[in-house]
Homo-oligomer: A and B are copies of this chain.
Amino acid sequence: MDFSLLLNNFAKHISLTKTEEKFITSLLEYKIIRAKDFLVQQGEVSKYSAFVLNGCLRGYTIDSDGTEHVLSFAPKDWWIADMYSLLSQKPGNLNIEAMVDTEVALISKTNQEKMYEKVPKLERFFRIIIEKSLVAYQQRLNDNLSLTAEERYLKFCKVYPQLINEIPQKQIAAYIGVTPEFLSKLRAKQARAK
């Protein structure tokens, strides 16, 4: 199994010896999640954090009237997990689904704890990436409080240029918080304006 993308990801914030790399690698699981299959579904207790080696996952919730809300997209080189369920070990309400066939490296909660014990540097690594994730969610919450749907769409296009033409529009709508019909209207308006 080739975990080099993940090891490079670690290397962005900490440096690991070969021995440490071997140890960590030995605690990883490799999995292919087929398009439309799930890593976890709402109601389950999450066991894994996932790192995407190839492909794309999305994390979404389904509200009481059946509407989907996308909390995150995880393309290649991104981390994703239902942090709530993983930390509390209670049933979560996140669905993590593969948008295309996706290769992931999985770390089980118990193995992650082992890693922290043997390689404390990893505490630092995960502190840093969680800090970044926190900043991103704060920013996004602020965008949802302060921007119009159109502004959020334009921002999405800027932040995820690679996703725009790769994923269904209705999922962009479910990410920025509007109906697919309204997003379609926005896009028509913008095409007209050119």
Interface residues of A (CB under 8 A from B): 61, 63-64, 67, 69, 71, 83-84, 87, 116, 120, 123-124, 126-127, 130-135, 137-142, 144-147, 177
Contacts and interface: CB of A to CB of B under 8 A. Distances in A.
Given A123-B123, A133-B134, A141 B139 contact: no
Contact of A123 (B71, B127, B146): B127
Nearest to A139: B84
Contacts of A131: 83, 87, 130
Contacts of A141: 71, 137, 140-141, 144
A131 to B, nearest CB: 6
B137 A61 contact: no
A146 B87 contact: no
A120 B177 CA distance: 40
Contacts of A144: 141, 144-145, 177
A83 B132 CA distance: 9
